[in-house]
Amino acid sequence: MNDDKQIQRDAPPIVRLDKVNKHFGELHVMRDIDLSVAPGEVVVIIGASGSGKSTLIRCVNGLEPFQSGRIEVDGKTLAPHGASGKSLQAVRTEVGMVFQQFNLFPHLSIRDNVTLAPRKVRGWSRRQANTTAERLLERVGISDQADKYPSQLSGGQQQRVALARALAMEPRLMLFDEPTSALDPEMIGEVLDAMRELAKDGMTMMIVTHEMGFAREVADRVVFVHGGEIVEQGTPEAVFDDPQNERTRAFLSRVLKH
Amino acid sequence: MDLHFQFDWQAAIASLPYLLKGVPYTLLISFGGLAIGFVIGMLFGLMRIAPSRWLRYPAVFYIEVFRGTPVLVQVLFIFYGLPTLLGGPIPAITAGIAAIALNAGAYISEIVRGGVQSIERGQREAGLSLGLSATQTFQYIIWPQALRRMIPALGNQGIVSIKDTSLFSVIGVGELVRQGQVYIAQTFTALEVYFMIALLYLAITLSLSMALSLLERKGLVG
């Protein structure tokens, strides 16, 4: 699959979830979740809507608080019930995120969307940030558009800018929360291509997606979530071709039919 | 007495130099009050949506009190009532500015709250996920967008407050209406003078709304 890159299995994991539980009121959305991600690993999380897969990755950068257990990201611990501002910010500085709805800043130019955080958080000069932005925008195939505003770009272009924006912080880990779900079908490919490149370059990634073909191709490990639990995980071949759990089989037969 | 009455343009124009002396006071009270009101509105509008009830409740109290009582009563209270507490008189202009500031501040608090709450949650999440602090996220991402959305409502409030200053003739501020009343007492040209006063208010409020729509179209804010 990804023979040209290295997964550092011996190194300490970048992400470690330890018996993480989360409730939304009555709803138990994460049940004793244990999950580790090694540096360089691409983990794709699949499952039906409402299974808790988005919640899971949103816990990793503290956008969702959790009630019990422990999450460690790049050596920093997120405690239950919402970590304190500083440690949370420290984690988020090293973790990039791409959202379903892009969430570009509509009042800023494409360039400023990408350079804002490096300048304000990393303290880079405008020139340094601009140079990096140019390089990243070119890498995701959005050159010569830096002076435009998000609303002037197509959905696929906006999502690639969102990717460049996250990469500008030079994150150690990238989270993707259904990055292609809000896109017109003809634009899904260009976003997946950019993500494929990133995976090839050895970025550690946690991806929530409904694109099963992409998951099979890019994932080092596929994690199937159902009812807030990790029901099954393994290589894409193992999970897709020979699922052991009945729920996995039911889910896959539904999504792979069409 | 001749009941056949005609609008006397000459009298109207003759009153103009006298009325214009009131315009600076009208502008000073309304824009001075609005500027302070904007600061108050930003502060209390944000307190109004703070997680802590120790910030929220005082803001709700202030907003309800100053939205729920007439601005005329507020200025009378400040001008005639407060000096008994403070032990010294308050200049009429100061009282007028304070009344506009407090009254507009209450409305602007609600405008600020609405503007900030109208920004999609994803904007905040995107800012935070990039490592920006909550304050930076607000400063660079939420507030500029909220401010732009607030412009029409702020313009409305500006126009309301400008017109409210006409009430302050009762405390003797030499603003437009007061100037007119004094002039009418000497010349008995109520029809012409009040007509001219109305025109002058219209000129001020129209300039404001034109300036704001220009600002809005050019996206100069944010």
pLDDT tens-digit map of B109-140: 999 999 999 999 999 999 999 999 999 999 99
What are the structure tokens assigned to B192, written together?
A: 């012409």
Residue type, B178: R
Would you state the pLDDT for residue B122? 97
pLDDT > 90? residue B5: no
The whole-chain average pLDDT of chain A stands at 93
For residue B130, which residues of chain A lie inside 8 Å, CB to CB? Answer: 92, 96, 116-117, 121, 165-166, 169
Assign A9 a pLDDT band (cuts: 50, 70, 90). confident
DSSP assignments along B125-185, one per residue: HHHHHTT--HHHIIIIIIHHHHHHHHHHHHHHHHHHHHHHGGGGGGGT--SHHHHHHHHHH
Q: What percent of chain A has pLDDT over 70?
A: 96
H or E, element range at B99:
helix B92-117
Alpha-carbon gap, residue B181 to B188, rounded angstroms? 10
Q: Which residue has the tokens 């029809």?
A: B191
Is B142 in CB contact (< 8 Å) with chain A? no
For chain A, say whether B57 makes contact (Cβ under 8 Å).
no
Question: Whole-angstrom Cα distance, residue B66 to residue B47?
Answer: 16
Classify A223 as helix, strand or coil.
Answer: strand
Instruction: Please answer yes or no on whether A121 and B136 come within 8 Å at the CB atom.
Output: yes
Q: What is the pTM of this model?
A: 0.89
* Over residues A202-223, mean pLDDT: 96
Question: Residue A219 region, left (φ>0) first, then alpha (ψ -120 to 50), else beta?
Answer: beta
pLDDT at B84: 93
The pLDDT of residue A258 is 56
Helices (H), chain A: 53-60, 85-94, 110-120, 126-139, 155-167, 185-200, 212-218, 236, 246-256
Please determine, for residue B149, whether its predicted confidence score (pLDDT) is greater than 50. yes
pLDDT score at B213:
87
H helix runs in A44-154, sequence order: 53-60, 85-94, 110-120, 126-139
pLDDT in tens, B160-184: 999 999 999 999 998 999 999 999 9
Residue % of chain B over a pLDDT of 70: 96
Residue A255 distance to chain B (closest CA, Å): 28
- For chain B, counts of helices (H) and of strands (E): 11, 0
Rounded distance, CA A102 to CA A54, Å? 15
Q: What are the residues of chain A with a beta carbon less than 8 Å away from any beta carbon of chain B? A: 61, 63, 85, 89, 92-97, 99, 101, 103-107, 116-117, 120-121, 162, 165-166, 169, 175
Report the residue of B119, B120, B125, B130 to disrupt the A interface, i.e. the one with the largest count of A CBs within 10 Å: B130
* Residues 6+ positions from B45 with CB-CB distance below 8 Å: B59, B108, B109, B110, B111, B112, B113, B116
- Report the gap between the CA of A243 and the closest CA in chain B (Å): 34
pLDDT of residue A7: 86
Confidence of residue A3 (pLDDT cuts 50, 70, 90): low
Q: Do A165 and B130 touch (CB under 8 A)?
A: yes
Residue of B nearest to A88 (CA): B131
d(CA B136, CA B70): 38
Collect all residues with Cβ–Cβ distance below 8 Å to A60 and sequence separation of at least 6. Answer: A15, A17, A71, A73, A95, A173, A175, A206
Q: Which of A147, A68, A81, A70 is nearest to A111 (CA)?
A: A147
* Chain A interface, best mutation among B129, B137, B150, by max A CB count within 10 A: B129
pLDDT surpasses 90 at A81: no
ipTM attached to this prediction: 0.93
Partner-chain residue, chosen from B125, B140, B222, that has the shortest CB–CB distance to A99: B125
pLDDT grade for A10, boundaries at 50, 70 and 90: confident
Beta-carbon contacts below 8 Å between A and B: 62
- Give Rg (Cα) of chain A: 18
Quote the pLDDT of residue A256. 83
pLDDT tens, residue by residue, A92-123: 999 999 999 999 999 999 999 999 999 999 99
Q: Is the pLDDT of residue B4 over 70?
A: no
pLDDT for A72 beyond 90: yes
Pairwise CB contact (< 8 Å): B131 & A169: yes
Instruction: Say if CB A234 and CB A16 are below 8 A apart.
Output: no
Q: CB burial class (10 A; 0-12, 13-18, 19+) of residue B139?
A: middle
The count of C-alpha atoms lying within 13 angstroms of the C-alpha of B119, restricted to the half-sphere facing its C-beta, is: 29
For B143, the closest chain A residue by CA position comes to A107
Q: Which CATH number fits domain B23-174: 1.10.510.10, 2.60.40.740, 1.10.3720.10, 3.90.78.10?
A: 1.10.3720.10
Rounded to an integer, the average pLDDT of B40-48 is 97
What confidence category does residue B221 fall into, taking pLDDT thresholds of 50, 70 and 90?
Answer: very low
Contact check, Cβ <8 Å, A120/B145: no
